[in-house]
Structure 1
Amino acid sequence: MSAIGAAAARAVTRAAAPSVRPRTSRALRLARSTRTPVAAHQISSQRVYSSPSASNPSTRATVVQLLSNIGSKREVAQYLSHFTSVSSQQFAVIKVGGAILTEHLQTLSSALAFLNHVGLYPIVVHGAGPQLNKILEDSGVEPQFEDGIRVTDPKTLGIARALFLEENLRLVEELERLGVRARPITSGVFTADYLDKEKYNLVGKINHVDKKPIEAAIQAGCLPILTSMAESKDGQILNVNADVAAGELARAIQPLKIVYLSEKGGLFNGDTKEKISAINLDEEYDHLMTQWWVRHGTRLKIKEMKELLMDLPRSSSVAIIHPADLQKELFTDSGAGTLIRRGNKVHINTSIDHFKDIEQLKEVLIRDRASLDAKAIVDRYVKGLQSREFRAYFDEPMEAFGIVLPPSGETTLAHLATLTITKNGWLTNVADNIFAAIKKDFPKLMWTVKEDDENLTWFFDKADGSLSKDGEVLFWYGLETSDEVKDLMVEFTKHGRQMFGDINLESKLQRAARDRAAQNTGSNTAKMPAQQRAFSTHANPLRASRQARYVTKPALSVRTYSTTNPNPPLGSKNSSNSKPSRVALIGARGYTGKALIDLLNRHPNMDLRHVSSRELAGQKLKGYNKRDITYENLSVEDVQRMEEEGAVDCWVMALPNGVCKPFVDAIDQVGKNSVIIDLSADYRFDPAWTYGLPELVDRSAIAKATRISNPGCYATAAQLGIAPLVPYLGGQPTVFGVSGYSGAGTKPSPKNDVENLKDNIIAYSLTDHIHEREISAQLGTPVAFIPHVAVWFQGIHHTINIPLKEEMKSRDIRTLYQDRYAGEKLLKIIGEAPSVKNIANRHGVEVGGFAVHSSGKRVVICATIDNLLKGAATQCLQNMNLALGYGEYEGIPLE
């Protein structure tokens, strides 16, 4: 069972136990080790159900909070709102195979418990094929199949019927053990004719689905659990394939989701061996069916899914998923299995004259604008397009509409100028189709998004690179050379957003885009739309983005979700440099030096040339296999000479406090401005140096800097743990910090003496510690810091007491943190207090706890960090990557 599933089981069992526990007698025990026919057993079962009751709001809040561990609060709330927008029975039909019941019963039950305790009622229909095969073989009966359909004689049907009742009861009991009321529905739903009595015997073809038993169960507050058995009009029990039963049930119910649980967790591309993330049938079906690997079961499954979806609304979709990933599939943008949907055909126009109805076009363009002069702006915009080259992408009803200005003049970049999507456009996923078409036509694209746009994390995942300035984020994909990226970044940094604004931009990469925009809109330029949604999709159409499948707001140009993060990550692909950088490490003996050497060894473009250590001079460097390196004892003069010769691109100072200044002065005297990263505290208060905490400091400032002071380990975790609440402070925060003894360095002292630390904790520098000054200076508010050292080797735990100026709830504070750090790859917000043993040897920070005092005006937050990694070496590599033009997370293992 997954950690999320286990947490769900505990939460719902505690919070929502039924008022009357079921009393069940299970006489049926299938003796699989014997040859006794199961049909000879009798089944007796007595159930007492509790009366229906309203869902417990506190339980719902608890489960929503747990769900937030697999996705952002925004994603969970968005999908939950969508799923509850229809009648309860129209949420989802979930088909459960026999193997899932045998091997993953607890995982399945905990996933269903999650759904039920947020007010959702999936309809479950299950089979038991593998169990039936085993029982038949053990009973001396060889299973018979014709065209993949089980031939079902009376003896086989008797065994199957008893087995289905047993498996149904097992699932019901497991759900009720978790506090979920479930109702077994083993007959009365499916009516069938004989499929072909002579050929298949007692196998049915469903001709009617009676929804009343299902609706009654949901009305009573129970999850309906169905078997895939049917009855003829004369009352004869007939066997029906569970996939077929689920499909016919879906046709009758018309649900938003049809979920097929599979141990494989999805469909796989035979060429790449990768799981197919999404299939848009309208666009991809014909091509897909020509692929050599789409055969046998895969071909049949895709064909059946198309036939099913053709009978359902476009808002419906099929998911093939492992039960352990059910929550992630349903409640996150990225999903986890294979999503199959109809999608929409994308039309492309290259001239205003190609539009049949110009007034309809104008209505589409105006629907996102609320200004009084919107109509006049749109009129000028359309008039400008009459004489300009463009490509418009849209579906037939124009639920989604985008305009791209092709590259021209000196730029090779296309420019996404307009994108507007209605609510229904999101629900039918046409946006994904449009952007697959855009990327197919334009291998290089640029766009901008407002920095407070709530969908920033999606943009960062999909773009090749990004840069933020003055409330705007520039994104791009497809740039091939570092010069292209450099020019684009420099001009954007200088001049900001230049899509449809009035600022003059004279960049060779952006001038053409500016000119086109100005000409298209006349003298009074317009933003069309005010917020743009721009996407890039994977080259393989089968792996096209699955983001933004649903939205609950009307007619948006960009799907907006709140995040106050002023400094979004540049992303692991944000690279403007493809050449190796020569690195010198001064002070490589300590723990941090060793950790950094290991990271540099993994980095594809960091070329470590020199390591300096007085104690280790002459010895071979271990743990670095790119080249043979011998420790040197580099003097200040040696460093100055190497800088004059241009032998080093980046200097890393891993020296004790107060030692590195002569080396820095020597480099400064040369005046070549190679990059220096200082891991000591010597320059953390120097305004001429850039403070290198990417999650809180403007990343573009770090990218442009040549003198970067690496933050302290204690200080990094403390700042990240406090920063979102600075505007809400009602007093001085107090940080109680405990570090492993590696934080005391390698020089012997009582603070790194294991015997002295055994059964002990040592407090030190209880006031005015340098990290106290650092935290306070960077946050702009006084913070008290009380450090301690304990017996473990590496890892820091902070318990942070924060007074609040107004009453706040734990849920709201946690949401504040999730929104603030949305998209940060090295920062995880969790519900419970994080533990040191879970952060040691990992490269990020965990923040959790969020315990609010009964007064509502004090919160205790906990933060953990590995002092040698994110507290030092990992953060150093982040800063090196940014300053040297590589992706911020290049060389850093991301979990």
Structure 2
Amino acid sequence: MISDTVLRNILARRTIGAVASRAFKPVMISSTSFSCKASASVRVYSTRSTVIQLLNNIGSKREVEQYLKYFTSVSQQQFAVIKVGGAIITQQLPQLASCLAFLYHLGLYPIVVHGTGPQINEILEGQGIEPDYSDGIRITDEKTMAVVRRCFLQQNLKLVTALEKMGVRARPITGGVFQADYLDKEKYKLVGDITGVNKAPIEASIEAGSLPILTSMAETPSGQLLNVNADVAAGEIARVFEPLKIVYLNEKGGIINGSTKEKISVINLDEEYEDLLQQSWVKYGTKLKLKEIRDLLMYLPRSSSVAIINVDDLQKELFTDSGAGTLIRRGYKLVTRKSVKEFGQPDLLRSALERDPDVASGKSSVASYLTEMEKSNFKAYGDEPMDVLAIVKQDNQFCNTVPCLDKFLASKAGWLNNVTDNIFNAIHNDYPSLYWIVREDDPYTAWHFNKADGSYTKDGEILYWYGCNNLGEISKLIDSFSKRGTLNGESGVFSGKQTRSYSTICGSTGLRVMGCGFHSQFRRGLSGIARAKANPPIRKGTNHSKARVALIGARGYTGKNLISMIDEHPYLELAHVSSRELNGQKLKGYTKSEIIYENLQVEDIQRLEKNDEVDIWVMALPNGVCGPFVKAIEEASGSGKSKIIDLSADYRFDKTGQWVYGLPELNDRLVISKARKISNPGCYATASQIAISPIIDYIGGTPSIFGVSGYSGSGTKPSKKNDINFLRNNLVPYSLTDHTHEREISYRLGRQVAFMPHVGQWFQGITLTINIPLREKLSSRDIRSMYQERYEDEQLITVTGEAPYVKDISGKHGCVVGAFDVNTAQNRLVVVATIDNLLKGAATQCLQNINLAMSYDEYAGIPDDLVIRG
């Protein structure tokens, strides 16, 4: 915790001109109270809650002190330029005002430039006028200009008023700053091309102790008002003031990749700009934004960058190493070399090699490695300042058939600015197969695992590989790795002097290398601790023939949902539906044929199986009941081609190897597809494993899972847990220790968890709040990136930055994981997960397993309705 004394001393050193003489009155900002008064030198008396808010979303005391000292070393107008999108003012004005007020009361004066695009469009559309754009620029005729001017003045006043209500002195500057000529009068009409910036109004505002709030309207020398894109205006301000930070706020919180629908973390323009412009989704405003940012950064120091973030991440962007949203920087182009002489700057090469722990510890020397390089067939990759150096050797002694990534040495800047990913992608393009070795205590094992197809751990080191599809080749790699020297033996260990990453730790092991209950995740034919990451959804099935389903125990809610999905399935048909209570009644809601409920006994099932009348048996029975039915199927003398899916907990702890645990997102889909008997996971267990698996390698204690389910999870048999009157305005805890799902989760994750279930007063849907102790410091951003990368290809899993709500998942066929809140000490993570207990928690997952077992498209018959995106 940063002390009040440290904070006051830092801020007291700030020269804030006329602000020093004005008296501050106590104001309220969110939950934070500021009390300030004038003196010979400004003293800021911060309460404990002030410090807590300052530290909210940031990494450490060191970061706070570092950035406050950094910002107070420059004049006020050089602190930051913040461009605010019009949608932010409409949708997030209180959050924006609170963040700006917080900075103001720390003596920091950002220059704010805002837009008003959505408001203009709303008025124009109300008047029956279609907004007209060309190359991302609004065509502004006289009628449109009248609307533009009115909207700018309204939105400017709205923001200034909100700030003043929080005790912030803010000055509206709606003209007199930007001089401009017509950009192209014939094409764009009243749109300006900024030719000059008048700094005086901005400097006067800051000198008077007021935040300058600018519109992006410009004027010609004759006084004609011209419309200017707010991004362009913010860029021109940045050119003039050269601030420490340039921040663009928008409602999306960054640039979204139109193909993957994921937020882009870092863009290095020198390396990626041309390729980005060729992408089909880069058009209109996005293309204009990238062009303007590139033009801006070309004239600023190479260390400058632009951050595109959501307003909620403003403090995090300004006060932390990890930042938020999309970071855009010039970066450097990547270069390759095939001889030591090609490096040209031996000092840079030596500095990069000195990051090797073996060199730093004295186990080897740079000179000896350079001598070895001169005799080797290698290809080196790096950026111009050599923040990242990678060396691939073809003639390694370890394995002659697969190239070796012998060195991958990254500075902190290399990790922070995503250079590591760019380098690895370049290597991947050149080498279809590769292996490398990493120390087991390397902080970036998750990143490495994300790049690999498989891994094997021994004696404190991890062997990674990709592109090795031949089982014999992988076996040879593992055998050679096992026989080589231990950690203290050979050189060439892939490593680097690495610190906390920015946002490039995007991978997730999903499962631990050792000690994991997911045995089916391991590659068949290899040692038990060798495993493969690749587990893509099976999008296209090879089978298009019809299959007959027998549903044993169809009275419950899960059975009804499964029947409904089978009715919409392109290949599945119900053949038999068994329910003792409903025997003889007509099945309602099924349209493919007329089905009458039966009360099938063991002998009936054995007969049906013997005559090959059923392709898929679904056991929707209470726990401990389906054993005799399964035995009857196994002992029948039919073809034995039928599949069995059990929805109960009877076989979730199977150790015979006869049953496969059917959680496709975490278990090997190929193994599930080849299994005859599949145990369907529990609802709580499914959501819990999905929420915990990506972080499993970083867990430092026992995760605690607080779960609440709708009362449909208690079944149809009357009890307090499904009594609507008893549940009204109530929350019912039950089985708070040793619950079946607690054992299931612990068994499958390979580590103990604590699970505390409850029943709520809604019908269907589960919410889980999971507390996870961390064994090493991780930021919320890093963790969210791990989850996004782990589940990026999963149709039925969504990762969001916000805590998901159970009302949004009810009736949806998937699982949502979000929140990723990390405490100040970064040793505790809270994850929130939601799932519909009747669907992805039961029936939908059952249908996934049926599709896999029958070689159909994995998602056949399952709606893609999980539209909760973050």
Taking structure 2 as the reference length, the TM-score comes to 0.62
SS at match of 1:613: strand
CA change 1:469–1:151 in 2 (3 A) is closer
Cα distance, 1:237–1:748 mapped onto 2, change above 3 Å: closer
- Is the aligned partner of 1:655 residue 2:616? no
Select 2:44's aligned residue among 53, 76, 90.
53
Looking at structure 2, the residues matched to 355 and 87 of structure 1 have their Cα atoms a distance apart, in angstroms, of: 37
Q: Does 1:528 align with 2:493?
A: yes
2:83 aligned partner, one-letter code:
K
Q: 1:847 to 1:223 in 2, by over 3 A?
A: same
Measured in 2, the distance between the counterparts of 1:287 and 1:820 equals: 23
Amino acid at match of 1:868: L
Match of 1:181 in 2: 168
Aligned-pair identity (%): 42
DSSP-derived class of the 2:160 partner: helix
Q: CA deviation at 1:420?
A: 1.9
Matched, 1:310 2:298: yes
What corresponds to 1:792 in structure 2? 762
Q: Confirm or deny that 1:868 pairs with 2:833.
A: no
- Counterpart selection for 1:840 from 810, 827, 843: 810
**SS of corresponding position for 1:311:** coil
1:503 and 2:482 matched: yes
Distance 1:665 1:181 in 2: 75
Question: Partner residue of 1:679?
Answer: 647
Q: Confirm or deny: 8 A CA contact 1:204 1:238 kept in the other structure.
A: no
Please identify, of 53-62 and 775-784, the stretch whose mean Cα deviation from structure 2 is larger. 775-784
| C-alpha spacing 1:878/1:433, structure 2 compared with 1 (3 Å) | same
**Cα distance, 1:752–1:491 mapped onto 2, change above 3 Å:** farther
Quick one: structure 1 residues 123 and 817, their matched pair in 2 at CA, closer, same or farther if it must change by over 3 Å? closer
In structure 1, distance between residues paired with 2:100 and 2:339: 51
Q: Distance in 2 between matches of 1:64 and 1:700?
A: 43
Give distance in 2, aligned partners of 1:262 and 1:572: 35
Q: Is the 8 A contact 1:318 1:341 kept in 2?
A: yes
In the TM superposition, residue 347 of structure 1 has moved relative to its aligned partner by 0.7
Q: Which runs of 5+ in 1 are unaligned?
A: 1-10, 22-50, 68-72, 137-146, 505-513, 534-546, 552-557, 853-857
Aligned pairs for 1:127-138 within 5 A? none
Aligned equivalents of 1:82 and 1:766: distance in 2? Answer: 45
Quote the Cα distance in structure 2 between the aligned partners of 1:264 and 1:722.
26
Matched, 1:592 2:558: yes
Q: State the superposition RMSD in angstroms.
A: 7.3
In structure 1, the residue matched to 2:8 is none
In 2, Cα distance between equivalents of 1:468 and 1:650 = 37
Matches within 5 A, 1:686-765: 686-688=654-656, 692=661, 709-713=679-683, 739-746=709-716
Distance in 2 between the 1:647 and 1:491 partners? Answer: 44
Query: For the Cα contact (< 8 Å) 2:219–2:225, is it kept in 1?
Result: yes
| CA displacement, residues 341-387 of structure 1 (integer Å, 9 cap, x when unaligned) | 32211111133443335564344123131566656276665555445
The CA deviation at 1:259 is 3.6
Q: Counterparts of 1:258-407 in structure 2 under 5 Å?
A: 258-260=246-248, 280-285=268-273, 302-319=290-307, 340-356=328-344, 360-369=348-357, 374=362, 376=364, 381-405=369-393
| Superposed CA offset, 1:139-160 (max 9, x none) | xxxxxxxx9999999xx99999
Distance across 1 between alignment mates of 2:446 and 2:200: 44
Residue 422 of structure 1 corresponds to 411
Relative to structure 1, the CA distance from residue 472 to residue 257 in structure 2 (aligned partners, 3 Å threshold; closer, same or farther) is: farther
Q: In structure 2, what is the Cα distance between the partners aligned to 1:763 and 1:291? A: 52
The runs of 5 or more residues in structure 2 that have no matched partner are: 1-26, 125-134, 522-531, 792-796
CA distance in 2, matches of 1:410, 1:611: 55
Q: Distance between the aligned counterparts of 2:822 and 2:386, measured in 1?
A: 48
* Distance change >3 Å, CA 722–CA 564, structure 1 → 2: closer
Equivalent residues of 2:506, 2:785 under 8 A apart: no
* Alpha carbons 2:662, 2:678 under 8 Å: kept: no
Deviations 1:430-486 (A, max 9, x none): 4454344334434566667677766677677x6585668678888777x6xxxx65x
After TM superposition, give the deviation of residue 206 of structure 1 in Å: 2.8
- Tell me the SS of whatever aligns to 2:171: strand
Counterpart of 1:613 in structure 2 is: 577
In the TM superposition, what are the counterparts of 1:437-586 in structure 2 within 5 Å? 437-442=426-431, 487=470, 502-504=481-483, 524-530=489-495, 574=536, 580=542, 586=551
Counterpart of 1:403, as a letter, is I
Residue deviations 1:753-774, cap 9 Å, x none?
A: 7678778888888998766776
Letter matched to residue 175 of structure 1: L
Offset at residue 309 of structure 1 (A):
0.7
Cα shift at 1:87: 1.6
- Alpha-carbon separation, structure 2, partners of 1:851 and 1:354: 46
Change (3 A) 1:872 1:270: closer
Aligned counterpart in structure 2 of residue 172 of structure 1, from 160, 163, 180: 160
Deviates more, 1:466-475 or 1:650-659: 466-475
Write the letter of the residue equivalent to 2:339.
Answer: S
Question: Deviations along 1:189-233, whole A, 9 cap, x unmatched?
Answer: 96979999x999999843664699489569x6x65434558999x
Q: Distance in 1 between matches of 2:368 and 2:47?
A: 54
Q: Say how many residue pairs are matched.
A: 768
The answer on whether the counterparts of 1:813 and 1:850 sit within 8 Å (CA) in structure 2 is no
Find the counterpart in structure 2 of residue 123 from structure 1. 111
2:648–2:680 contact (8 Å) kept in structure 1: yes
Once residues 476 and 889 of structure 1 are traced to their aligned partners in structure 2, the CA distance between those partners, rounded to angstroms, is 30
Cα deviation, residue 657, structure 1: 1.9
The answer (yes or no) to whether the contact 2:439–2:494 under 8 Å persists in 1 is no
The CA distance in 1 between the partners of 2:280 and 2:782, in whole Å, is: 48
Q: 2:196 matched to which residue of 1?
A: 206
SS in 2 for 1:420: strand
Which piece of structure 1 moves more, 610-619 or 53-62? 610-619
Aligned to 1:544: none
- 3-state SS of 1:574 partner: coil
SS of the residue aligned with 1:376? Answer: coil
Partner Cα distance (1:385, 1:774) in 2: 52
Question: Residues 682, 559 of structure 1: CA spacing in aligned structure 2 closer, same or farther, 3 A cutoff?
Answer: closer
SS at match of 2:623: coil
Question: Aligned residue for 1:251?
Answer: 239
Compared with structure 1, are the counterparts of its residues 674 and 105 closer, same or farther at alpha carbon in structure 2 (3 Å cutoff)? same
Partners of 2:567 and 2:573 within 8 A in 1: no
In structure 2, relative to structure 1, the CA distance for the partners of 1:700 and 1:432 (3 Å cut) is same
